[in-house]
Structure 1
Amino acid sequence: MTPTTSIRPCLWFDDTLEQAAEFYTGIFPNSSIGHLARYTEAGPGEPGTVMAGEFTLDGTTFQGINGGPGHAGFTEAVSFSIACRDQAEVDHYWDALVDGGEESMCGWLKDRFGLSWQVVPTRLHELLSDPDPARAQAAAQAMLQMRKIVVADLEAAAGAVGRPAGP
């Protein structure tokens, strides 16, 4: 059976949907802004401003609405996770998304619109799943001290397990 429905995240902005769509599509590959519905003379918003629309980020389509401040605002309870294949991808997404936003801990950040992101190298998951529990623990402890995840530092922490101390 072919599904007839689709599930898409819908993000509620106060009045910055168009700016957010432009910002996000400038960061992710295979991205575009779809249809943007604009207010007309009938209101309730200022004619010509965006009411609702959609944008696609690396193949995932999002809906958005400019619903006003009544319900606008994001929390960490909902975030988007980016699986990065290497440090270069981590650096790209972290640097772009945190611009005008705020760093948090363990690979989390809030962008300039207040939306939370997790920028996570796949190597982190590999190290946290290491068959040697001491190596996994060392990687976890290193990650807990980081804002942006640095793969080389995770690997150094995991690799230091079992080595003699000193120079």
Structure 2
Amino acid sequence: MSFAKITICLWFDTQAEDAANFYVSIFPNSKILSIQHYTSVGQEFHKKEPGSVMVVNFILNNHPFIAFNGGADYFRSGASSFMIHCDDQEEVDHYWDKLSPGGDETKQVCGWLADKWGVGWNVVPNGLEEMMKDKDPEKVKRVTAAMMAMKKLDIEGLQKAFEGSAEDE
């Protein structure tokens, strides 16, 4: 198996294996590839118990990831997230409903959420980008206003706003 030139590394305190198992249970074409453990070598730096999980190599929907138990030194920022492109509302609901429990509900806005480990996800229906790039500024305003009022994105509501039929109801 050849590896991608860029692999995403997610930093955890001690939850790398739990997180990797959680993520591979949600996404298709996903699996744990390997788990590496800390040894006593370098313990004065890493301060981890020999035998505890250091790195989990895994694939999410055919994309390589690493989950690293590096300690509590670094925290996640909302400035980065993983965008999930969804074909329909059922897929939007699936990812939203699986990833959002235990996460920070104050960060659920416009299709964005932070999961229970603070990892950011943007659950977006296919077609939204085209609506947002439409040449008609009124359509873009309406779909933007609808999107800004949503936590989990509702494709029908976005489409109605785009078409201008939302205010007819």
Q: TM-score range by the shorter chain?
A: 0.7 to 0.9
C-alpha RMSD over aligned residues: 2.2
1:95 offset after TM fit, Å?
0.6
Q: What count of residue pairs does the alignment treat as equivalent?
A: 162
Partner of 1:13: 12
1:70 offset after TM fit, Å?
1.4
Structure 1 unaligned residues grouped into runs of 5+: none
Cα distance, 1:136–1:52 mapped onto 2, change above 3 Å: same
Distance 2:20 2:138 in 1: 43
SS at match of 1:37: strand
Structure 2 unaligned residues grouped into runs of 5+: none
2:161 is equivalent to residue 157 of structure 1: yes
Cα distance, 1:120–1:45 mapped onto 2, change above 3 Å: same
2:49 is equivalent to residue 50 of structure 1: no
Tell me which moved more, 111-120 or 34-43: 34-43
The answer (yes or no) to whether the contact 2:3–2:64 under 8 Å persists in 1 is: no
SS at match of 1:125: helix
Identity of aligned residues (%): 43
Distance 1:115 1:155 in 2: 28
Distance 1:67 1:89 in 2: 33
Distance 1:46 1:97 in 2: 30
Q: Which has the higher helix share?
A: 2
Distance 2:92 2:104 in 1: 16
Partner of 1:68: 71
Which letter does structure 2 place at the counterpart of 1:32?
K
The answer (yes or no) to whether the contact 2:38–2:53 under 8 Å persists in 1 is: yes
TM-score (norm 2): 0.87
Cα distance, 1:18–1:166 mapped onto 2, change above 3 Å: closer
